[in-house]
Structure 1
Amino acid sequence: MKILVNAISARMGGIVTYTRNLARSFSERKADATIAVSSRFPADCQGVWRHWASDLRPMTRFVWEQTLWRRTVAEMKPDVLFSSANFGLLSCPVPQVLLVREGGLFDPFYLANCTPAQGMKAALQRKVRRRLILASARCSDRVVTPTAAMRDLLLRWAPDLDGKVVVNSYGTMSDSFAPSPAAMRPWRADGCLRLIYVSVYYPHKQPELVCRAVEGLRAAGMESHATITMDIRETEDFKGGNFDRLIMSQALERGQATLGRRPYESLPALYREHDVFVFPSISETFGHPMVEAMGCGLPVVVADTPVNREVCGDAALYFQPLSVDSLIQCLRRLDQDPELRAALTARGRERVVNFFTWDGHVDRMIDIMGEVAGKR
């Protein structure tokens, strides 16, 4: 089966990690696959086709995809086109599988809480993007979502897609993101509760909530510190990022937080250097860091959303979204109950191994592609 992957818009965050891992897995399986990526894609990723079109503005790139890219696809004649970043070809000349991974456009909680500060221009852009994603879905042979919760959100906007949408859960490298007893940090080993939050910045990620939780714990007499893998300058790229920037700046000045991007390869060791993983994001399609943290043997405390519930099950403590008091209560409960910490850790690792391995995700995706190619 000849596979062509369109990941040209992959520039940052989970889609870059996903595409890098996909390229490696296809290579290991000796799959006949061509993966088109951004010209700014990480240089250490081999076996990909870096394409100049990634530098086009979004709407210009969409027009390019529907014209010149369509011609390229027709000339290459793959058995299946895998459009891995929300948008696909309309009236695709070959069988097409579309991965929809942008949940915020369809999530009423996100739309109510994160979009008012972004202005009318952003509202128009969201409307256009949503319509294009739905049009892409209707023109695809199969639509894939990473969670059932994401599928249900999509079907609320487009019930006619029922029967075309399938769920294929993401997975993590369970061998790399695994407990290491010799390297694991004992709980509050230095008397400090060390929180870790791995993510890139978007307004719905709510990093300020973690900083305010640290401040609240310290005010109550519990020494605490947060490591957040975001660059504070990222907040300048988004309307609505001012409050996050203010709170993170104050946390930095007080020595209560460490900020900055970390290489993907360094993440397993980073998780093991901390006591608890915190995930306050209010809108996800999956949430890779939750699975990575559970895989490494950390207890996790996450915002109570349908996606987070689906991913973490009974292996997490849940706090009320946007509530710093609720988050602090969960952290204090975890600190006071060693048996609970041990139970969450064991359940989390078991859940990752049983449901969220990367190889399982890739195998299912190849099956989906083969089914679509065979039917067309």
Structure 2
Amino acid sequence: MKILVNAISARIGGIVTYTRNLARSLAERKVDATIAVSARFPENGLPLWHHWASDLRPLSRFLWEQTFWRRTVARLKPDVLFSSANFGLLSCPVPQILLIREGGLFDPFYLANCTPAQGVAPALQRSVRRRLILESARRSDRVVTPTLAMRELLLHWAPDLASRIEVNSYGTMSESFSPSSGLRRDWRVDGCLRLIYVSVYYPHKQPELVCRAVAELNRTGRQAHATISMDIRETEDFRGGLLDRHILTEASARGDVTLGRRPYESLPELYRTHDVFVFPSISETFGHPMVEAMGCGLPVVAADTPVNREICGDAALYFEPLSLSALLDCLSRLEGDPQLRAALIARGRQRVVESFTWESHVDRLIQVFREVAEDQDRKLLDSGAQAG
């Protein structure tokens, strides 16, 4: 079975981690896979095909994919094309599997709370992107989403996709992201409540809420500090990022937060040096950092959204999205209840091992590859028999 993966748009965030881990896992399993990535994608000794098309503007990129990339796919003749970043070929010469990982375009809560300040042009871009994603889904043999909540959002916009969409939860490297791989910090061992929030920046990630929570804790005499794995310059790339940039700048100047991107390999140790993982994001398709934090033995406090509930279950405390007081209430509950902290930690680790390992995700994905390839073989045999 020959697989071609289109991950050319993987440049930042979770899609880079996903692509890197997928390339490594497929190579280890000796799957015949060609993985096309951005020209700027990190090498790391993986079998990758770096492609210049990643730097094209959106419209040019779309036209390139539907013409030149289509010809490339036809020339390579894989058994399956895995389009791993929302958009696929509208006329694919081989069976196509589409991974949809962009939830905000379909999430009513996100659209109501994060888009009004972005203006008319971004609204038009969202509409076009949404239409292209849905049309890509309709032209694909199979559509994969990482959560049931994401599947339901898609079906709200396109009920006709019900028979094509299946859920394959992502997973994490549970052996690396574990409490036993290193020393885990005791709660407030140095007298300071240390919060951690791992994410790249987008307006819906709400880092300002973590900054305001730390400021309020310090104001009331409960020493606190937050590590946020975002570069403040990332806020300049988005309309609606001005408030976050202002609050992050002030929080950093006060010493309330430590900002900056972190290498993926350093994350397990980073999690273990903190007390609690806070996830205020109001729109996700999965939320890898929640799984990583649970794996490393941290209690999780997350915004109360369908995806966050699906991932963390009873292994987290939830607060009303966008509410500072609700977030502070959750932190106070953890502070005053060691048994609750211990229960959340135990449930979180168990949940990761049972439901969210990376190897299980890859196993299910390869099974989908096989099913789609075998369906195509059957169709060809049937058409040949009918022609005979």
Work out the CA distance in 1 between the residues paired with 2:313 and 2:42.
33
Q: What is the TM-score normalised by the length of structure 2?
A: 0.96
Work out the CA distance in 2 between the residues paired with 1:232 and 1:340.
34
Give, as a single letter, the amino acid of the residue that structure 1 aligns with 2:37: V
Matched residue SS, 2:314: coil
The verdict on how the C-alpha distance between 1:206 and 1:368 changes in structure 2, with shifts beyond 3 A counting, is: same
Structure 2 counterpart of 1:130: 130
Work out the CA distance in 2 between the residues paired with 1:96 and 1:374.
13
Structure 1 counterpart of 2:157: 157
Work out the CA distance in 2 between the residues paired with 1:43 and 1:240.
33
Larger radius of gyration: 2
Structure 1 counterpart of 2:386: none
Deviations 1:320-346 (A, max 9, x none): 000011000100110110000000000
Q: Percent identity?
A: 76
C-alpha deviation, 1:44, in angstroms? 1.9
Structure 1 counterpart of 2:259: 259
Structure 1 counterpart of 2:303: 303
Structure 1 counterpart of 2:23: 23
C-alpha deviation, 1:307, in angstroms? 0.1
Work out the CA distance in 1 between the residues paired with 2:365 and 2:279.
27
Structure 2 counterpart of 1:210: 210
Matched residue SS, 1:246: helix
Matched residue SS, 2:90: coil
Structure 1 counterpart of 2:75: 75
Work out the CA distance in 1 between the residues paired with 2:284 and 2:63.
28
Instruction: Give the paired residue count.
Output: 376
Work out the CA distance in 2 between the residues paired with 1:75 and 1:216.
60
Matched residue SS, 1:283: coil
Quick check: 1:171–1:357 contact (8 Å CA) kept in 2? yes
Deviations 1:293-325 (A, max 9, x none): 000000000000000000000000000000011
Structure 1 counterpart of 2:191: 191
The verdict on how the C-alpha distance between 1:152 and 1:296 changes in structure 2, with shifts beyond 3 A counting, is: same
Work out the CA distance in 2 between the residues paired with 1:367 and 1:195.
39
Matched residue SS, 2:122: helix
C-alpha deviation, 1:91, in angstroms? 1.8
Quick check: 2:9–2:54 contact (8 Å CA) kept in 1? yes
C-alpha deviation, 1:281, in angstroms? 0.2
Quick check: 1:20–1:45 contact (8 Å CA) kept in 2? no
C-alpha deviation, 1:181, in angstroms? 7.5
Work out the CA distance in 2 between the residues paired with 1:182 and 1:40.
32
Work out the CA distance in 1 between the residues paired with 2:33 and 2:372.
16
Q: What is the TM-score normalised by the length of structure 1?
A: 0.99
Matched residue SS, 1:180: helix
Quick check: 1:8–1:36 contact (8 Å CA) kept in 2? yes
Residue 65 in structure 1 maps to residue 65 in structure 2? yes
Work out the CA distance in 1 between the residues paired with 2:178 and 2:338.
20
Structure 2 counterpart of 1:230: 230
Structure 1 counterpart of 2:360: 360
Deviations 1:194-231 (A, max 9, x none): 00000000000000000000011111210000000000
Deviations 1:69-98 (A, max 9, x none): 000000000000000000000121100000
The alignment's C-alpha RMSD in Å is 0.7
Matched residue SS, 1:250: helix
The verdict on how the C-alpha distance between 1:182 and 1:90 changes in structure 2, with shifts beyond 3 A counting, is: closer
Which shifted more, 55-64 or 299-308?
55-64
Work out the CA distance in 2 between the residues paired with 1:302 and 1:182.
25
Matched residue SS, 1:258: strand
Which runs of 5 or more structure 1 residues have no equivalent in the other structure?
Answer: none
Which runs of 5 or more structure 2 residues have no equivalent in the other structure?
Answer: 377-388
C-alpha deviation, 1:43, in angstroms? 2.8
C-alpha deviation, 1:59, in angstroms? 1.4
C-alpha deviation, 1:45, in angstroms? 4.8
Matched residue SS, 2:179: coil
Written as runs of structure 1 = structure 2, the 5 A alignment for 1:108-187 is: 108-180=108-180, 183-187=183-187
The verdict on how the C-alpha distance between 1:12 and 1:45 changes in structure 2, with shifts beyond 3 A counting, is: farther
Work out the CA distance in 1 between the residues paired with 2:259 and 2:43.
24
Matched residue SS, 2:127: helix
Structure 1 counterpart of 2:385: none
Matched residue SS, 2:98: strand
Work out the CA distance in 1 between the residues paired with 2:55 and 2:240.
25
Matched residue SS, 2:89: coil
Matched residue SS, 1:314: helix
Work out the CA distance in 2 between the residues paired with 1:160 and 1:319.
34
Work out the CA distance in 2 between the residues paired with 1:344 and 1:180.
17
C-alpha deviation, 1:369, in angstroms? 1.0
Written as runs of structure 1 = structure 2, the 5 A alignment for 1:330-369 is: 330-369=330-369
Residue 312 in structure 1 maps to residue 312 in structure 2? yes
Give, as a single letter, the amino acid of the residue that structure 1 aligns with 2:42: P
C-alpha deviation, 1:182, in angstroms? 5.3
Work out the CA distance in 2 between the residues paired with 1:77 and 1:283.
37
Give, as a single letter, the amino acid of the residue that structure 1 aligns with 2:369: M
C-alpha deviation, 1:58, in angstroms? 1.3
Structure 2 counterpart of 1:373: 373
Moved over 4 A (4+): none
Give, as a single letter, the amino acid of the residue that structure 2 aligns with 1:259: L
Give, as a single letter, the amino acid of the residue that structure 1 aligns with 2:247: I
Matched residue SS, 1:329: helix
Work out the CA distance in 2 between the residues paired with 1:44 and 1:258.
27
Work out the CA distance in 2 between the residues paired with 1:53 and 1:250.
39
Quick check: 2:175–2:181 contact (8 Å CA) kept in 1? no
